[in-house]
Structure 1
């Protein structure tokens, strides 16, 4: 299913509060955040993050396939999607492409920040900034991971409708990216050596490590909206 068809579907799905993790919203923009702590190293998460073809849902593509997705993790690199078709010999050839986002900050194992208006927002006069941050948990093997997507500008959608829809879709990709890793037990200690883009986050508190499944809720962590602050992701 391609984005032009998907717009109506995701807007009609926003009535369910289970998908809502919108931390801030105004008439001209919004911020959605997803957070989880998993039993993996930042390098393992980074490697997974840079292979969107392995976790991005093809329903949220322009071509109907995620096989042509890639991220070039360097400044001015592209998070792009190739339109591919098989020729008479069955060999794939590229017949078009689309940019989802542009990389503006890349520090392996720590931060990937990209700018772009995802999905149906691409046709609007808005700027979206997605920060993916990874923070090792002190005294444990886990890593805290966050997706923070900030959107602002003029759009023909109502923020009250499009923000939960974007949150749902982005949360789905976040969950899918982390599927290979087990959720880590909560650790209240502060992480070493790096300041997350999203601070004062509450860790999940399972009684024992759990495996993320396809049927898990989109929001792996529930955070208090009043306690989440967007800050610049700079190494200490």
Structure 2
């Protein structure tokens, strides 16, 4: 998701320095179709990383640790590598200048692998395990609203400064949640929990995966904020 947001915010405010981002098609801010198509077209260029813009590679996207603590259940993900960002598409991108809000809606497949540690209960079913894990789905829909303000430097150049953001997501297609070594490899004890993951995947994975999404969005916002503070509005917006 980091890539989606950065791709959008570097393209939606189009006209960025052509020498640094020659793949960007300039758009006016009120031309939503142009902005959407430009943002989607920019993803294959941005995912590998752009050193000149200080954008590191984003596939895989690395999350060192993310924890879901639901009281009776604690699940910790470690060293997660996330793939699928290069296949993301934008359903909508727009900038509300009156409210100083950038709105994004996008879809992406997702494949993640790493390690996990699980302990406690999930819906009264004992849950315990530690080992490798894979998570896979063909489609996640993400909605992000980013608020910003305009600042002026000593030279009189104006910049956008991101101040806050809200997001939500919806799991459109089935999520396959595949932890290894549940209950130390005891297949009999693991069966009820695996059936629960399979049958109630949307409700469970929406909660269990929330920490990963939260960290991805946070990283994205931090990088985009840095970008906007370095590139003036005059370089980003087509007059």
Measured against the shorter chain, the TM-score band is 0.3 to 0.5
Structure 1-normalised TM-score?
Answer: 0.32
Q: Which has the higher contact order (CA 8 A, sep 6+)?
A: 1
Structure index of larger Rg:
2
Greater share of strand: 2
Greater share of helix: 2
